[in-house]
Amino acid sequence: MSHSVEELYKKVAVLHEKTLMLHRERYRMQGSYDKAACQNLVDDVKSLARDIVHGPVDLDRDFSK
C-alpha cells in the first residue's frame, strides 16, 4: 500500500510535533528532565522517520487537477 502525498504530509507534521515535544522536555527551565520520556520520544521519532523514508509514496498522480 502506498501513501498519498496527504498521508506523507500528516506524518511529517507528527514528526515535527514530536521533535518539538522532545526539545521542550530536554531543555526545560528547571535544568532537570525526564530521561525516560525523552528516550520514548526519540524512539517514536526514529520509528516515524523510518516509516517516512521506507514507506512508498504514490507520486504517480495527476497534479494538474
User: Does residue 61 belong to any structural domain of this protein?
Assistant: no
* Enclosing domain of residue 26: 5-54
User: Does residue 11 belong to any structural domain of this protein?
Assistant: yes
User: Does residue 37 belong to any structural domain of this protein?
Assistant: yes
User: Does residue 59 belong to any structural domain of this protein?
Assistant: no
Residue 7 confidence (pLDDT) = 86
Calculate the alpha carbon distances from 62 to 3, 7, 14, 57, 58 in Å. 15, 17, 26, 14, 11
**Residue 2 pLDDT exceeds 60:** no
Q: Which amino acid is at 39?
A: Q
Query: What's the pTM value of the predicted model, to 2 decimals?
Result: 0.76
User: Does residue 41 belong to any structural domain of this protein?
Assistant: yes
pLDDT digits (tens, 9 = 90+) for 12-60: 999 999 999 999 999 987 878 999 999 999 999 999 999 988 877 666 6
Any idea which residue has 535544568 for its cell? 31
Q: Residue 4 in contact with residue 59, Cβ under 8 Å?
A: no
User: Does residue 62 belong to any structural domain of this protein?
Assistant: no
User: Does residue 14 belong to any structural domain of this protein?
Assistant: yes
Any idea which residue has 506523507 for its cell? 8
For residues 4 and 1, give the distance between their C-alpha atoms in angstroms, rounded to a whole number: 10
Query: How many domains does the structure of the chain reveal?
Result: 1
